[in-house]
Chains A and B, each alone.
Chain A
Amino acid sequence: MNFQYSFSRRRFLALSAAASSSLIMPGWVGKAGAAPLAAIKEEDAIIAFGLTGPVSDEGWNTKQNEGAKAIQAAFPKAKTLVVESIPFSADASRTFRQFVQEGAQMVFSTSNYGDFFASVVERSPEVAFLEADGRRVADNLGWYYAAHWHPTYVLGVAAGLLSKSGKLGFIASFPVPMAISSSNAFMMGARSVNPSATLQVISINSWFDPQGANQAASALIDNGCDFLFGVMNEASYLQVAEQRGVRAAMWSSDMRRYGKNAYVSSIIPDWTAFYVDQVRKRLEGTWSGGGQTLLPLGGGIDRDAWGETVPAEVAAKADAVREKIIGGWSPFTGEIKDTTGAVRVKAGETLDEVALYNWDWSVEGVSGLST
C-alpha cells in the first residue's frame, strides 16, 4: 500500500462519544453509564474472535485476523482464540458459547450474528462483547463498524469517470444495509460525474463464494457492465474482470496482483488500533458496554492506492472528493430519490451516519437489490 493515512485516534473517539449520546437504537437500549467491567491481568486475558470465513481469504477475514494479531503483539501474555468460517446458524451460538466456556473475557463477533450472538451475550454479563455491523448495545455489549460509504463514494467517482458504457456492476452478498449503503454510495459517486450511469446488483447469498462471484461477474459483464464492484471477501471477480478486459474495485485488501490491469482500488479497513484500544480498556478495567463506533474515512477505513492503469487525472479528481469528505463535506445530501423516483431525502437535508449505517432502500439508478 503506497497511500499512508494518518490515524487519528481523537477523531474516532470523538465519533464514538457522539454516538453514545445520539446513536441510540430502538429495541435494546443499554443502561446509561453502565459500570465498567473489572480489570484483568494480561496473563489471564483470553480474547476471542469469531470470523465469517477463512483467515486466508485475503479479504475481510484476513483483515480481522490482522486485528487479532495486533492484539497479540500489543499484549503478548494474553491469549487469543480465533475461529474461522462460523456459519450464520445456530452453530454460531455454540461457538460463542464455547468461547465463554473457555474463559474468554472479551469476544469480538466480526459480523452481525444477531440472535445467535445476543443469546450468548445475555447469559454472560461478565464478558465484554463487541459486534461488527451490530445494532444492539447492552451493559456488556457494544457495536462497531467503519463508515465505508465515504471511501466507496470516492471509488464511485472514479468508476463514473472510467466507465465507457456507464453500466456498472455490483456483486452483493445479501440485501442487508451494508450492501445497500455500499451500492448506493458507489452509485451516487458515479452519478456525480456521469448522471446517466446505472448500477446492476446481483446477490449471491454469501460473503465468500468464489464460484458464485465468478458467475455473477460474467453475467454482469455480459449485460454490458464495464466496471465491477462488490462486497466479496475474496478476489475472484477481479480475475474475471481482468480476463474480460473490464475494470474492478474490491473490498478489504490490496488485490492488484490478481488483475493488474483491471484493478482500480479497494476499500481497506484497518481494525488494529481500535481493537488494541478496546482490549487495553478491558484489561485496565475501564471498558463498559454501550459503545457505538464507526471508524471514519482516514481513521480506520480508506481507499487503497490507485491501480496501475488508473489515469492520473481520474485519480486526482477522485482524491479531491476524498479530501472534501475528510474536510467535513457529506456527499449524502438531498435531493436523493429512490428506485421508484420518489424523493427520499429533500434538497438541503443530509443523511446522518446512523441513517447511512441502516440504509435499507436503493437510490435511483441501482437495480436488483432492494425490495
Chain B
Amino acid sequence: MSWRLQRFPSPKPSVALAVRAVAILLALVVGGLVVAVSGLNPFALGNQVMKSTFGSSFGLEDLGLLATPLILTGLAVMITRRIGLWNIGAEGQFYAGALAAAAIGLFVEGPAWLMLPAMFLAGVAGGMAWITIPTLARAFVGVNELITTLLLNFVATLLVYYFATGPWRDRGAGTLGSTPRIRYEMPELWGMVHWGFAIAVVLTVLAAAVLSFTRWGYEVRISGANPENALYAGIPVRRRIIAVMLLSGAVAGVAGMLEVAGTVHRLQGGISNNFGYLGIIVAVLARTSCLGVFAAAALMAFILNAGIILQTQGLTTSAIVALTGLVLLFTAIGDEFAHYRLVRADRATA
C-alpha cells in the first residue's frame, strides 16, 4: 500500500487553519534565528515582548488601540473581496473619513452626545465620498478599482496634509503640523481603549451576519464568485457592486473617524499610520471570513506592538517590516500546501 501527495482544488478548513498556525510559528522561528545571528538573545526578547504586551494593562490597551482601526480597515478590504474586488484605497477613505469627522469636530459646536454621532456620520460620508468615483467607474465603465482606489490614496493624504498644516493648523501653542485639539472625544471603554473598539467589533459581527444570513449577502457572494452566474440568475450585480464598495468606503471612513475622535484627537498628516494598507494584509490573512478579521487584526496589532518593543531593545524598523513579510510569505506558502493531502495511491473512487 503506497501513499501519495495530491493536490485538491480546495483545502480542508481544519488543515488550512493548522497550516496558518504553523506558518506564523515558522516566521517567528526564522525571525528569532535572525535575531540570534545579530547577537541578541531571541528568548529574552520574546519574553520581553510577551511581558510588555500581555503582562501589563499598558500592553493590552495598546493592542486594543491598534486593533481598532485594523479591524475596520481589514473589514473594509474584506467586504470588497466578497464581491471579487480589491479596495486598495482604505487608506484614502480612512483619511477622508478622518477629514470629514475633524471638520465637524472643529467647526460645529454642540453637546458631545450629539456631536460624536455627527462625527461618525461624517466619517461614513467621507469614506463613501472617497470611494464613489472608483465605484461608479467600476460599476458602469469597468475601470479596474485596484488602480483608482490606490491613486486616490495619495490625493487624500495630501489633502489632509494641506488642511492640517495649512488653513486648519493649530495656531496656538502645542502640536505642529496638526489641527487644534478636537473637543469631542470617544469615551474610554477600558483604560485608554475607547468605545471605538466596541464599534469595530459590532460592525464586523454585523457585517458577518449580513453577508452570511441575508439574501443580499447571498447575492453578493454569488456576484463575487462568478458575475456571469449572478447575471444568469438575475442578480443585479452592478447594484451589489455599488453597495458593497460604498459600504467598504464607509467602514474605512469610520476607522478614520475613530482615530480622530478616539486616539489622536487632532487631524494631522500621519494619522493613518498606514492602517489602510495594513488592512489589506489583514484581509489577505482573514481570507473572506469576517470573523477571521478579528484574528488577523489582533495578529497585526501584536506584530506592530512587538515592533515598538523590539525597537527599544535595539532592533531596527526594517527588522519588524521583514518579520511582517515573513508571516505573509509563510502563510502564502502554507495556504498552497493546505491544498495537498496524503492519499492512498491505489484507492479509486470517482
Contacts and interface: CB of A to CB of B under 8 A. Distances in A.
In the complex, A touching B (Cβ < 8 A): yes
B317 A88 contact: no
B173 A91 contact: no
Interface string B149-174: 00000000010010001110101111
B296 to A, nearest CB: 19
B65 A90 contact: yes
A182 B56 CA distance: 44
A46 B259 CA distance: 32
A48 B312 contact: yes
Contacts of A98: 52, 308-309, 312
Given A101-B52, A101-B56, A133 B317 contact: no
Contact of B264 (A81, A89, A371): A89
A94 B268 contact: no
Nearest to B309: A98
A89 B273 contact: yes
B181 A115 contact: yes
B221 interface: no
B174 A27 contact: yes
B270 A88 contact: yes
Interface stretch (A173-181, A268-276, A320-328): A173-181
Contacts of B311: 83-84, 95
B259 A90 contact: yes
B6 interface: no
B217 interface: no
Interface string A180-206: 000000000000000000000001010
Interface string A93-134: 011011101100000000010111000000000000000010
B148 interface: no
B223 interface: no
Contacts of A95: 308, 311-312
A167 B308 CA distance: 44
A26 B172 CA distance: 8
A102 B313 CA distance: 10
A28 interface: yes
Nearest to A90: B263
Given A48-B312, A87-B270, A114 B174 contact: yes
B127 interface: no
Bin chain B's interface residue count: 35 or more
A360 B176 CA distance: 11
A135 interface: yes
A27 B177 contact: no
A85 interface: yes
Contact of A136 (B171, B174, B263): B174
B153 to A, nearest CB: 14
A25 interface: yes
Interface in B171-225: 171-178, 181
Contact of B173 (A25, A89, A174): A25
User: Which of B158, B309, B311 has the most A CB atoms < 10 Å from its CB?
Assistant: B311
B73 to A, nearest CB: 14
A115 B273 contact: no
Contacts of B264: 89-90, 115-116
B174 A176 contact: no
Given A83-B312, A95-B312, A112 B166 contact: no
A84 B173 contact: no
B172 A27 contact: yes
Contacts of B305: 94
B165 A102 contact: no
B306 to A, nearest CB: 11
A302 to B, nearest CB: 24
B176 A177 contact: yes
Interface in A55-98: 81, 83-85, 87-91, 94-95, 97-98
A135 B174 contact: yes
Given A83-B311, A95-B311, A115-B264, A205 B175 contact: no
Contact of A89 (B158, B270, B312): B270
Contact of A205 (B171, B174, B269, B309): B269
Given A89-B271, A178-B176, 16 more contacts: A48-B312, A88-B269, A89-B264, A90-B259, A90-B264, A94-B308, A98-B308, A101-B56, A101-B58, A112-B176, A135-B174, A136-B173, A136-B174, A174-B165, A205-B161, A360-B171
- By Cβ-Cβ distance, the 4 closest A-B pairs, closest first, are A114-B175, A89-B273, A88-B270, A27-B173
Interface of B: 52, 56, 58, 62, 65-66, 158, 161, 165-167, 169, 171-178, 181, 259, 263-266, 268-273, 304-305, 308-309, 311-312, 316-317
Interface of A: 25-28, 48, 54, 81, 83-85, 87-91, 94-95, 97-99, 101-102, 112, 114-116, 133, 135-136, 174-178, 203, 205, 358, 360, 371
